[in-house]
């Protein structure tokens, strides 16, 4: 069973203005009158009052977005997700060439996967995808466990198996993940990609995986959850079986870091620190890029 040694992160006081801002951004994408939006916002503020601050910020965010979805009856990011999937797919042939012409395709695909993590409408209102890619390729990764990552990927010790679980994050970003998964498949790994079971912000669902053709190259399952990140208590038993059995896990995004960094699994977190609370927890600046092995791994 997956287990946590201690909650890796807790909700901080400065999370609350961020929760409210995310709700306002989300309501900007729904088709409702202003009076109805105000009613939804009041319900969000009520939900915030009861937030469990002993949990990571992603936990409270999950229930805030659940309130918005229930009261609006909409998937507020549906159109934006489709648009960014299309934009990323337009870049895919060029990026794929970059990856497979590089002397270390795994390194290049990993850098691009981290760069793709900036595509997050829960925090940013617009994203310069091409500019982000170029900056990411030139930028130093502040926490870089690439050598340990490569060793774990190429480990052929008997009994270790060749399978790994790949926890996906955002729409648009999924195209960058597809490139990394292609490299992993070429290295003989059996990859199972994981999407959300219910729409939440711009996190990927089965539809997004199908739209970018990921389901045609690897196994795709959903976690049965509408949680931000991976909150075990909200996930299906089917997904948890996969999570508990897999030796190696690749985890994309800040939400997954918030919710999984305290567990006893060998996880490599690929993401950018997008807020002050997470950056401070890491001892880094906002915008820092990470390929970080789980420090809470129980030996």
Rounded distance, CA 196 to CA 222, Å?
Answer: 5
| Residue 4 reports pLDDT greater than 80 | no
Which tokens in the block code for residue 173? 């970003």
Q: Which of 15-19, 32-36, 46-50, 161-165 has the lowest mean pLDDT?
A: 161-165
Say yes or no to pLDDT of 299 above 90: no
Residues 51-72: pLDDT tens digits?
999 999 999 999 999 999 999 9
CA angle 68, 71, 75 (to 5 degrees): 55
Residue 128 has pLDDT above 70, yes or no: no
168: which 2 tokens? 């996906």
Rounded to the nearest integer, the mean pLDDT of the chain is: 89
Token reading at 86: 């299309």
- DSSP structural state of residue 5: S
Q: What pLDDT score was predicted for residue 111?
A: 93
Q: Pick from 211, 273, 241, 202: which is nearest to 57 by CA? A: 273
Give 234's contacts (C-beta < 8 A, 6+ positions apart): 62, 224, 225, 226, 227
Is this model's pTM higher than 0.85 or not? yes
* Fold observed for domain 78-293: Rossmann fold (3.40.50)
Query: Is the model's pLDDT at 251 over the cut of 90?
Result: yes
Asked whether the predicted pLDDT for residue 18 surpasses 50, the reply is yes
pLDDT of residue 163: 86
Average pLDDT over residues 241-256: 94
pLDDT at 262: 79
Burial of 299 (0-12, 13-18, 19+ CB in 10 A): exposed
What is the mean pLDDT of the segment spanning 260-278? Answer: 91
Residue 220 pLDDT > 90, yes or no? yes
- How far is the C-alpha of 10 from the C-alpha of 280, rounded, in Å? 12
pLDDT exceeds cutoff 60 at 96: yes
């Amino acid at each position: 069973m997956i287990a946590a040694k201690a909650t890796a992160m807790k909700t901080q006081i400065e999370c609350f203005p961020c929760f409210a801002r995310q709700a306002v951004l989300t309501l900007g994408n729904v088709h409702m009158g202003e009076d109805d939006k105000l009613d939804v916002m009041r319900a969000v503020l009520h939900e915030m009052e009861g937030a469990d601050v002993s949990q990571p910020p992603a936990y409270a965010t999950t229930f805030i977005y659940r309130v918005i979805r229930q009261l609006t009856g909409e998937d507020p990011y549906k159109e934006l997700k489709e648009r960014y999937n299309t934009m990323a797919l337009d870049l895919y042939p060029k990026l794929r060439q970059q990856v497979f012409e590089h002397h270390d395709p795994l390194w290049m695909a990993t850098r691009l996967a981290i760069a793709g993590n900036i595509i997050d409408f829960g925090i940013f209102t617009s994203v310069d995808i091409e500019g982000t890619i170029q900056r990411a390729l030139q930028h130093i990764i502040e926490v870089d466990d690439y050598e340990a990552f490569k060793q774990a990927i190429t480990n052929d010790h008997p009994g270790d198996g060749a399978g790994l679980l790949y926890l996906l994050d955002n729409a648009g970003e999924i195209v960058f993940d597809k490139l990394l998964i292609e490299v992993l498949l070429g290295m003989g790994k059996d990859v199972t990609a994981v999407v959300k079971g219910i729409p939440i912000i711009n996190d990927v669902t089965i539809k997004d995986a199908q739209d970018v053709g990921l389901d045609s190259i690897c196994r795709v399952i959903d976690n049965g959850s509408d949680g931000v990140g991976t909150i075990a208590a909200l996930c299906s038993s089917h997904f948890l079986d996969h999570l508990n059995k897999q030796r190696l896990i690749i985890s994309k995004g800040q939400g997954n870091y918030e919710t999984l960094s305290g567990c006893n699994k060998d996880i490599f977190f690929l993401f950018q620190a997008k807020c002050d609370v997470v950056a401070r927890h890491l001892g880094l600046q906002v915008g820092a890029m990470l390929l970080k092995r789980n420090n809470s791994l129980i030996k």
